[in-house]
Amino acid sequence: MRKLTMPELGRQSREQFVSTQKKPIILVLDNIRSGLNVGSIFRTADAFALEKVILCGITPQPPHREILKTALGATDSVLWEYLPDCRDAIRILKEGGYQVWPVEQTDRSRSLDSIPWNTGAGYAFIFGNEVDGVSDAVLQLLEESIEIPQFGTKHSLNVAVSVGIVIWHCISAME
């Protein structure tokens, strides 16, 4: 076994990627504190060719030093925007026909593996603050949440790890 070289990986150029059809998935980051997490999430959005990342509240925005450190250029390839209030993002996304799901442990959460993913649907996933999670004000606007099944003692995952799990599961289930 050997690692593949960069030419063997056949990566698209930034220009090719920008014009490539994206998965109809939007990530909404609400009050994420860490620029390192945000950068990692941008990289995941690039890896899976997601439609967009929406940054809300105190979430740092490019060109923040910590974002650039972990994004490795993904802030140049992934479409993103900033909205001060996550509730505005939810309204816009719902009006645009997206199914909006907060990823949070709630009294009305559904296990990630129980969601019937629709190939033709657009999805928006809301990820909240590293300590407080998705805010109560945001949760009040939505009917259910998605919960990642966990079996250890902590019952929480790093937000960037959670993004990767949810996106991988959603895309795999739709294909």
19-76 per-position pLDDT tens digit: 999 999 999 999 999 999 999 999 999 999 999 999 999 999 999 999 999 999 999 9
Tokens of 35: 């620029």
Cβ 158 vs Cβ 129: under 8 Å? no
Cβ 127 vs Cβ 27: under 8 Å? yes
Helix or strand or coil: residue 170? helix
> pLDDT tier at 175 (50, 70, 90 boundaries)?
confident
What Cα–Cα distance (Å) separates residue 50 from each residue in 77, 89, 138? 10, 17, 22
Question: What secondary structure letter does DSSP report for 112?
Answer: G
